Every structure is written in structure tokens, then in C-alpha cells.
Amino acid sequence: MDMIYKDILFLILPHLRQFHFHIRSIVAYTSHIDIDTIRQSFVHQQQSVDCVLDYFNNRCGQYQIFSLPFIGTRLDFISNRFRLVDENKNTFSNVTTILLFDDVKPLEYNFFRLVARALPYLKPLEVFNRLEQQEKTMIITNLIQFPHLATLIWDDIHMNLC
């Protein structure tokens, strides 16, 4: 441990010009964490950072903190409440793998349309959603296209999502 502390923290980190990261952490649902509190802990950084906080029905939540530009290629346990598209830029355009999960709000047509637009190079798409869709339509005239999709995995989904 002393070697890591000495060689990395004191010798290498001070010389880094950029440090790209994506931290996803599960938190116990004891009380809501203020997202601005998380953001303020990075105020003194020279680099742009953003974070997303999401709570689920199983009394757990997650927060994801990431450097901008986001260079990761994978996002896991993304719900309807995760902001995939910014007004000014496409933050997650490098993402090629995503796992969608929601036990609070069903994954609806418009959310899938947003995923297709925000993640143009998506290859595998995995979906977990036991909740019945609320915004049902009998005939879908506008099909959602995922031009690079090679794998679609539907795990533990409500039958009307099919």
C-alpha cells in the first residue's frame, strides 16, 4: 500500500493533464443524497464532471459520476430518469453497450426512441423491465431503428413490452 500511495499519488497523479473516469456506486436507500452535494465535491477540479443519481424500489439507489467528455463505451442499469441527451451535446455518443433497468417507471416507446437517438453506435442492448407499459398504442407507425444493433437481450420483462 505504501508503494501505491508514494508512487502513484505523489509521483504520477500530479503530472496528469487529464483523468477520465466513470464511477458507478450502489447506495443504501437511507435518505436521498443531494446531487449538488456530489457535484460540489468536484468544484476545485480543472476538468468538467457530471453525475446522475437514481433510486429504485428495492431500497437501493445508484450514483454515477463521470468526467466530461464521457469516453466510456458501456452504461449499466440505466432507467427512464437517466439523462441520456443534453441540449448542447451528445454526451454518451461513444456508448456501444447499454443495460436498461427500471422497477419504478415502465420503459416506454419514447424512451427507446431517445436511446436510439442518443446512442447511435449501440451494438448490444439488454432490457430488464417487469412493469407494464402505460402508454400503449395499437399500431406503431414509426419504427425505432438501431442501425448497428447486433444483440438484443430481453431478460425478465413484462409480456406487453414484446
pLDDT tens digit sequence for 12-65:
656 667 778 888 888 776 566 677 777 776 666 667 888 888 888 777 888 888
Q: Tell whether 9 is covered by a domain.
A: no
The whole domain housing 30 covers 21-161
Of the two residues 94 and 159, the one the predictor is more confident about is: 94
- ∠ CA(76), CA(77), CA(78), 5° rounding? 95
Per-residue model confidence as pLDDT tens digits over 15-27: 667 778 888 888 7
Predicted TM-score (pTM) of the model is 0.77
Judge whether 122 lies within some domain: yes
Q: Domain for residue 10, yes or no?
A: no
Q: Is residue 140 part of a domain?
A: yes
Inside any domain, residue 6 = no
Question: Has residue 30 been placed in a domain?
Answer: yes
CB burial readout 11-34, b (16+ within 10 A) else e: eeeeeeeeeeeeeeeeeeeeeeee
**Residue 56 lies inside a defined structural domain of this protein:** yes
Share of the chain above pLDDT 90, in %: 22
34 is a domain residue: yes
Q: How far apart are CA 43 and CA 135, in angstroms?
A: 40
Split into its structural domains, the chain has a count of 1
Contact status, residue 63 vs residue 25, Cβ threshold 8 Å:
yes
Grid cell of 13 as nine digits: 497523479
Of 94, 75, 76, 86, the closest CA to residue 114 belongs to 86
Neighbouring residues of 53: CB distance < 8 A, sequence distance ≥ 6:
33, 35, 38, 61, 62, 63
